[in-house]
């Protein structure tokens, strides 16, 4: 348990500082603080060797079994988004408290693309799934999975309703990691989901800016 805490204390501190910054800085700065948050996590995980680009690429070349797991996870991940959209429309008066990222220049568009498509898939899966989910026993597995889903959620939203919705996003990614014990499965599925969702926003923004 001590090793578990040591592994996660720095990322938790980084996330805590990021969340605190959302109450301190104006909303137009969120896109920068959000990018710094992911960048710091990426640097930390690379230093600690929790993430390996070489291993990720090796898994991507792994064959049908890997891609079958990724496809199922990506489908469930996208379905989770659809479910939360339906819930938002059913309860429009509930504030999701989503941490919005403002795009007003080519610089912020570039930062938005990197920090919503590429970096989250790497850092969030390494942090909230690989490092936080603890397989020691069933009780620890359930409690650490719920904790990881909660921390994932408060990184995206600052209200109870929004946290609940975002935990729904985390559910298929968490189950995928628990079932496969291969972090690169949910990582790849997460990247695909981000590419489909935020990639469209990037393209539409580019069109509007040209």
Write the pLDDT tens digit of every residue in 115-151.
999 999 999 999 999 999 999 899 999 999 999 999 9
| pLDDT confidence bin for 210, thresholds 50/70/90 | confident
pLDDT at 13 over 90: yes
Predicted local confidence at residue 3, as pLDDT: 84
SS3 98: strand
Kindly state the average pLDDT of the residues 164-187.
97
CA distance 101 to 202: 12
Query: What are 67-91's pLDDT values in tens digits?
Result: 999 999 999 999 999 999 999 999 9
For residue 64, CA distances in Å to 3, 68, 145, 148, 176 come to: 35, 6, 28, 29, 16
Predicted local confidence at residue 209, as pLDDT: 85
Kindly state the average pLDDT of the residues 18-27.
95
Q: What is the mean pLDDT of the chain?
A: 95
What is the percentage of the chain residues whose pLDDT exceeds 90?
Answer: 88
**Closest to 123 (Cα-Cα) out of 39, 26, 199:** 39
Tokens 């603890």, residue located: 134
**Closest to 41 (Cα-Cα) out of 147, 146, 149, 118:** 118
pTM: 0.93
| pLDDT confidence bin for 208, thresholds 50/70/90 | confident
pLDDT at 44 over 90: yes
């Amino acid at each position: 348990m001590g090793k578990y805490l040591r592994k996660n204390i720095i990322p938790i501190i980084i996330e805590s500082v990021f969340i605190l910054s959302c109450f301190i800085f104006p909303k137009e700065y969120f896109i920068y603080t959000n990018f710094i948050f992911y960048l710091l996590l990426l640097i930390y995980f690379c230093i600690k060797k929790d993430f390996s680009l070489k291993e990720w690429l090796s898994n991507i070349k792994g064959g049908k079994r890997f891609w079958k797991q990724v496809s199922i996870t990506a489908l469930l991940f996208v379905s989770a988004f659809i479910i939360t959209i339906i819930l938002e429309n059913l309860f429009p008066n509930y504030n999701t408290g989503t941490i919005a990222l403002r795009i007003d220049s080519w610089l912020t568009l570039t930062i938005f693309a990197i920090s919503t498509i590429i970096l989250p898939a790497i850092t969030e899966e390494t942090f909230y799934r690989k490092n936080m989910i603890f397989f020691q026993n069933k009780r620890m597995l359930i409690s650490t999975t719920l904790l990881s889903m909660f921390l994932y959620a408060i990184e995206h939203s600052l209200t109870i309703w929004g946290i609940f919705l975002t935990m729904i996003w985390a559910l298929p990614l968490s189950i995928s990691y628990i079932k496969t014990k291969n972090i690169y499965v949910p990582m790849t599925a997460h990247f695909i989901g981000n590419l489909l969702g935020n990639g469209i926003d990037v393209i539409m923004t580019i069109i509007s800016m040209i």
